[in-house]
Structure 1
Amino acid sequence: MDTDMVPQREIDRIMSEYSSLLNDLCENITNEDLEQLKSACKEDIPEDQSNSITSSKEWFSYLEKNDKLAQDNLSYIEHIFEISRRPDLLTRVIEYRTTVLKISEDDEIDTKLTRIPSAKKYKDIIRQPSEDEIIKLAPPPKKV
């Protein structure tokens, strides 16, 4: 977030909303959920550090310290909640993004396609084909 252009009052509001979001998420993550979430990001958290994370607050704190999470950068946890099959948590994050950060689904489309590093090179390929590009198949042969 470019803080030069944003009034301090707005920055404080966003930080407050962000803290509120994390507290809300923490309240809805059980110890069992936490193990699943840590497992989903095992490529980004070394096992010895993962074993020392015993609460969702510690997990969020680790992600922040390692630049995986910030008040204006939520794509990593969106991805983790998505692959962990936690639509309830994902919905809360999306609500925060659209209401607090005012980033709509349309604005987010590029981020969604490039959320996973390996997808970046396929960004232009991952789109709906035009009517001309769709190959029409002939109907199956009739049985005699």
Structure 2
Amino acid sequence: MSEYSSLLSDLAENITNEDLEQLKSACKEDIPEEQSNSITSSKEWFNYLEKNDKLAPDNLSYIEHIFEISRRPDLLTRVIEYRTTVLKISEDDEIDTKLTRIPSAKKYKDIIRQPSEDEIIKLAPPPKKV
């Protein structure tokens, strides 16, 4: 399985039917209603986007945009990680390329990453009653 297929599979596993309806709604300008109604799974949605040149292994900007406006920073971050590790397009390079249109996407990385031990605020135990 290619890294791109693995990415789509991973994304699909994290998209519920309710999420799919929201994602389809977010791209209603690009998917005719009769086509949208026939899409019943996230894999079908990805297939439709690929067939209509909205998604490709080196073109992820459309789904990045859809994930951002659908408020799915978890999915957006996975796409960004793929872009930076597999396609080798860093956040600094992304402004110069047409592969992505969301320079603000890096803000989501801090939202879902786990804090380090140094960043965790440790509270003192409550004072003992006298």
* 1:33 CA drift (Å): 0.1
Q: What is the TM-score of this pair, normalised by structure 1?
A: 0.67
**CA distance 1:131–1:74, shift in 2 (3 Å):** same
Task: Report if the CA contact (8 A) 1:113-1:120 is conserved.
Answer: no
**CA distance 1:129–1:31, shift in 2 (3 Å):** closer
Task: Report if the CA contact (8 A) 1:40-1:80 is conserved.
Answer: yes
* 1:107 CA drift (Å): 1.0
| Divergent runs of 4+, >2 A | 110-144
Task: Give the length in aligned residue pairs.
Answer: 130
The CA deviation string for residues 34-92 of structure 1, in whole angstroms up to 9 with x for no partner, is 00000000000000000000000000000000000000000000000000000000000
Task: Report if the CA contact (8 A) 1:69-1:76 is conserved.
Answer: yes
List aligned pairs for 1:1-144, cutoff 5 A.
16-111=2-97, 115=101
What is the RMSD of the two structures over their aligned residues, measured on CA atoms?
8.0
Gaps of 5+ in 1: 1-14
Q: What is the TM-score of this pair, normalised by structure 2?
A: 0.74
CA distance in structure 2 between the partners assigned to 1:46 and 1:105 by the alignment: 33
Matched position secondary structure for 1:125: helix
* 1:110 CA drift (Å): 4.0
- What percent of counterpart residues are identical? 96
Task: Report if the CA contact (8 A) 1:75-1:111 is conserved.
Answer: no
